[in-house]
Structure 1
Amino acid sequence: MVVDKPAGLLCQPGLGTHQQDSLISRLQLACPDLRLVHRLDRDTSGLVLLAKDPGTHRLLGALFAARRVRKLYLADVQGQMGTLSGRIDLPLARLKRQPPTYGIHPDGKACLTLWRRLQLMENSTRLWLCPRTGRSHQLRAHLAALHHPIIGDPIYNPGCAAGGLRLRAMALRFPDPDDPRHPLRVRAPEPAWAHR
């Protein structure tokens, strides 16, 4: 199952009673056997893949571990990106616990993000982002390291109040669990902020 998670909702419950509402908690009320295959940050909207049984959960988890799942994100970043495309190959480590904050660190985990410019705007750039690794806050921390933080990011761009994080998980592509020779592709609708 693929669902479109709204921004502001945790994928799974956090610590403390104020963080118990989550995507998986809500969905398990109707379908108790559902399990998350991967997660999005609370502030990121878009596609999340879930499994309906343990066997499918293992299979899809193995596809993620083998990096056979392709993810595509849409983002608006501050400033104008001068080139048409690029790669960010910088290791990330957690630098702070509360709020969880990640940054470039020589002892961090290897991390790769590919990006392509979609549109130049007056003071910002719209990008397609393709993470090749799946680290926490990867896209947010990588773009902040380039001095082009994502608009509306409360952690990496706190001075920019834009009515929410402009980062959306737009598409997933992965081998069909029933027939691995054929890829499955799922695409989300464009966010409201992309039409402004």
Structure 2
Amino acid sequence: MTEEDLLARLIYRDGLMLILNKPFGIPVHRGPKGGEFLEGAFHHLRFGLPRNPALAHRLDKDTSGCLVLGRHHKALEKLGVLFKAGSIDKTYWAVVEGGPAEAQGLIDLALVRRDATRGWWMKVDPLGAPSQTRWTVLGRADGLTWLALEPLTGRTHQLRVHCQAMGWPILGDPIYGTAPRDGGPGLHLHARAIAVPLYKNKDPIQAEAPPPEHMLAHLAALGFAGDPPPREQA
């Protein structure tokens, strides 16, 4: 990504932390087959510091939205403690096939790696790690449902596996859903909002990321009217 591309995706910046709107389809780390990866452009985000910022957590290649970076080692340590303690509130938007009958609920299904040959593919297993996701219906239309998903734990692929296990896989998921490996509609999972209690005696820092282009048509059909334009700074 160019410096202009990356700066256009910067949602929040202070002395400790950056929050980016991660693009769909680009991995955060360098992959074994090469190709573009987000960390490769972090030198554009130094803003005068001697080292690049670094990831405080990660999102899957095909998940877009709020991605938190620490600007230096002490910031990363502080953010790491907050993420590990579950102190950071995250809200994802998903468009799922079918959907729940209720308006809201909680998925409480333990997860474990599927097997050693499948990398980080996961499955439901009562002997696995405890995993919980709170969900709320935001819209329904044409056999699809727009959900707000709040992961209360941070397991790999948690939201994707939980939705599949409930019988409403995320639209465009080629691993846990019905989408083909190539040429599908793209994973309809977006890290919409995050709240980071970074500073004592201050309200959490809150950020929202506009959804990616490939999700807009389905979200509009489900009732999303679009984000208001950003307010100009005084």
Give yes or no for the alignment of 1:63 onto 2:88. Answer: no
Give yes or no for the alignment of 1:173 onto 2:198. Answer: no
1:143 and 1:62, CA in 2 relative to 1: closer, same or farther beyond 3 A?
same
Q: Cα RMSD (Å) of the superposition?
A: 1.7
TM-score by length of 2: 0.77
**Comparing both structures, which one devotes a greater share of its residues to strand?**
1
- The one-letter amino acid paired with 1:147 is G
- Matches of 2:52 and 2:197, distance apart in 1: 22
Partner of 1:182: 203
* Among 104, 120, 127, the residue aligned to 2:140: 120
- Matches of 1:165 and 1:159, distance apart in 2: 9
- Matches of 1:82 and 1:158, distance apart in 2: 21
1:153 and 1:131, CA in 2 relative to 1: closer, same or farther beyond 3 A?
same
Equivalence map 1:43-82=2 (5 Å):
43-82=62-101
Unaligned runs of 5+ residues in structure 2 are 1-17, 222-234
Answer with 1 or 2: which has the greater Rg.
2
- Matches of 1:80 and 1:48, distance apart in 2: 27
- Matches of 2:91 and 2:159, distance apart in 1: 11
1:81 and 1:8, CA in 2 relative to 1: closer, same or farther beyond 3 A?
same
TM-fit CA distance, 1:180: 4.6
TM-fit CA distance, 1:99: 5.6
Give yes or no for the alignment of 1:5 onto 2:22. Answer: yes
1:146-189 deviation digits (Å, cap 9, x = unpaired):
01000000101134665200000000101133x45321100111
Partners of 1:80 and 1:121 within 8 A in 2: no
Identity over aligned pairs, percent:
34
- Matches of 1:180 and 1:61, distance apart in 2: 19
1:99 and 1:155, CA in 2 relative to 1: closer, same or farther beyond 3 A?
farther
* Among 98, 105, 112, the residue aligned to 1:93: 112
* Among 159, 166, 171, the residue aligned to 1:151: 171
1:20 and 1:159, CA in 2 relative to 1: closer, same or farther beyond 3 A?
closer
TM-fit CA distance, 1:33: 2.6
180-189 vs 110-119, which deviates more? 180-189
TM-fit CA distance, 1:22: 1.6
Unaligned runs of 5+ residues in structure 1 are none
* Among 25, 36, 42, the residue aligned to 2:40: 25
38-47 vs 19-28, which deviates more? 19-28
- Matches of 2:68 and 2:179, distance apart in 1: 32
Partners of 2:133 and 2:151 within 8 A in 1: yes
Secondary structure at 1:24's aligned position in 2? helix
Secondary structure at 1:181's aligned position in 2? coil
- Matches of 1:158 and 1:134, distance apart in 2: 24
Partners of 2:42 and 2:52 within 8 A in 1: no
1:49-91 deviation digits (Å, cap 9, x = unpaired):
0011100100011011111100000000001320000101110
1:107 and 1:28, CA in 2 relative to 1: closer, same or farther beyond 3 A?
farther
Count of residues paired in the alignment: 193
